Structure 1
Amino acid sequence: MERTMAPSPILKTLLLICVAFFLCMGAAHFLGLKVPVLFIYFDTPFYAYQDRIISFTLVTYAALFFAASRDRAVVPFALISIWATVIGLAYINQSSELAEVLNGSSTTIYWLQTAALAALAVVLTGLFMKERGSSAQRSLT
């Protein structure tokens, strides 16, 4: 059986905070609690079934980030998922479809939330890269 290596304590803690965040976000979507941060597009029209679908997918995010908190080999997959989310949100934020729904309203709040997720992605990526570099150095000695 292959031995797994856990991420550093700080990276593990941040990944577990992400787990809690994704579960809270999923609960908010399932219950229809349109609260900023837990709901990126909190003030747009919606169908309850769409939000429930999103809530189920957030469970997969939570599971992925939990697995990453236990095994450093899973972290790159969690990073791919969060970066894909940031790119997807940025695409939506500038889309004509969102502009049409907003009917001239600002997208600033969506960009701020997207930026917060991007900042989280940068921190997680930086910690992982630093950790990966440290483990490479240790293996050389």
Structure 2
Amino acid sequence: MKTIKISLFCGAIYFLLMAIAHAIGFKIPGLFIYFNVPSYAYQDRIISFLAFSWSVFYFMAFKEPNKQFLKSILIVGAVAIAMLTFINLNTDFVSFSGKINPSIFHIQTGLLLIYWIWLIFCYNKLKKL
């Protein structure tokens, strides 16, 4: 139980930092998946409040881990990772700038996938309780 709580708390902090970075337009790799792709301020603000929502969901799950709520987080996480992968594979990032190397986007998405797999492991451990 302690492992999943720590993992969820880390997720809450990560998404809170992502929300802050997007709100102020501070493009930090890891907090901005597409940190070197041009974006409009309104796009970043939309992502900011969505990331804040994720932070709240993770924090609420941290406060009181619930199997159904965790299952929802895992389902939405799978969809998010699938969509990021789709974007990474189907967007011509070079058309924005020849300096953009999309391999970093794959690495960042891969790290999110590893975190998601870790949450599945923790969830399965929780299910046995």
Report if TM-score (shorter chain) is over 0.5.
Answer: yes
SS state of the match for residue 83, structure 1? helix
- Deviations, residues 45-79 of structure 1 (Å, cap 9, x unaligned): 11011001100001110111122221323111111
- Unaligned residue ranges in structure 2 (runs of 5+): none
Deviation at residue 100 of structure 1 after TM alignment:
3.1
CA separation in 2, counterparts of 1:24 and 1:105?
Answer: 24
1:83 paired residue number? 78
CA separation in 2, counterparts of 1:48 and 1:93?
Answer: 21
Q: CA RMSD in A?
A: 1.5
Q: Does structure 1 retain, via aligned residues, the 8 Å contact 2:11–2:58?
A: yes
Question: Alignment partner for residue 60 of structure 1, among 35, 43, 53?
Answer: 53
Deviation at residue 102 of structure 1 after TM alignment:
4.4
Moved segments of 4+, more than 2 Å: 96-106
Letter of the structure 1 residue corresponding to residue 17 of structure 2: C
Report how many aligned residue pairs link the two structures: 127
Deviation at residue 16 of structure 1 after TM alignment:
0.6
Letter of the structure 1 residue corresponding to residue 90 of structure 2: S
Name the larger-Rg structure: 1
- Unaligned residue ranges in structure 1 (runs of 5+): 1-7, 136-141
